[in-house]
Amino acid sequence: MNERDLPLAEALQHTFQNGRLLAVALTHRSAAFEASSKKTRALEHNERMEFLGDSILALVVSDELFTRCPDAAEGVLTRMRAAVVNEARLAETAARLGLGDALRLGRGEERTGGRGKASLLADTLEAVFAAVYLDAGMTRAREVILAQLSAAIDQVILGADTNRDEKTLLQERVQARRNLTPTYDVVGTEGPDHERVWHVEVRAGDDLRARGQGRSKKAAEQDAAGHALRLLEEVAATPTPPVTGGGDG
């Protein structure tokens, strides 16, 4: 294993049998493109591992929530999982692990601050989880993922009310945070009467809008509310940039 990768491996508390897997997981496509353009030895980048890691992460978190929240409905579990694996939370975890320092980036991506980009950090963390899976199997991948995200899962479970429906939860949170009441509008239907699918849009302010669908208007509203809840949590988890300047000069 390359010495530059050792701090990350130690932070993950995983000893890689195949160090190349971690190296690939940490290689952004910009670095691979530059190597190819220079006609040097081709580098394999991490996009395929991101794809695999995304699925592994979703399975591990879904299984943990399913086991620990036996009374939670499907929509609640979906919302809880989204709160655990959203980009902001994954980027925060990646930064804590020092993943940004270990990234292999092209010069252009380096110049534009790639080591601190939330989307890039989150995607690379998923690739690293895939590397652990490929190196040591699902049991070990689950251990590593839960070691890094257990606090987030605890927080989401403690903050969730699994006995209330999505519309109620959305209304309570929007009213508390924005002093608004969500509005629902039917935006379309399709199919014959006995198999009709309803499409509903929910809005709460200019920046919170989501759509859902279902076999009844009520089900579509619940689906839309679930999507809106996930958007609301993602907005809440995104750091607000500091205000600069001020005054009239």
Alpha-carbon distance values, 205 to 107, 183, 228 (Å): 40, 9, 12
**Contact yes or no for 233/82 (Cβ under 8 A):** yes
DSSP 205: S
Distance CA 38, CA 134 (A): 30
What SS3 state is found at 139? Answer: helix
Q: Which of 34, 109, 123, 126 is catalytic?
A: 126
Distance CA 84, CA 153 (A): 6
Q: Is there a catalytic annotation at residue 110?
A: no
Please measure the distance between the N-terminal and C-terminal CA atoms of the chain and give it in whole angstroms: 55
Partnered with residue 183 across adjacent β-strands are 203
Q: Which of 34, 50, 54, 123 is catalytic?
A: 54
Q: Is there a catalytic annotation at residue 92?
A: no
Distance CA 76, CA 93 (A): 23
Give the active site residues.
54, 126
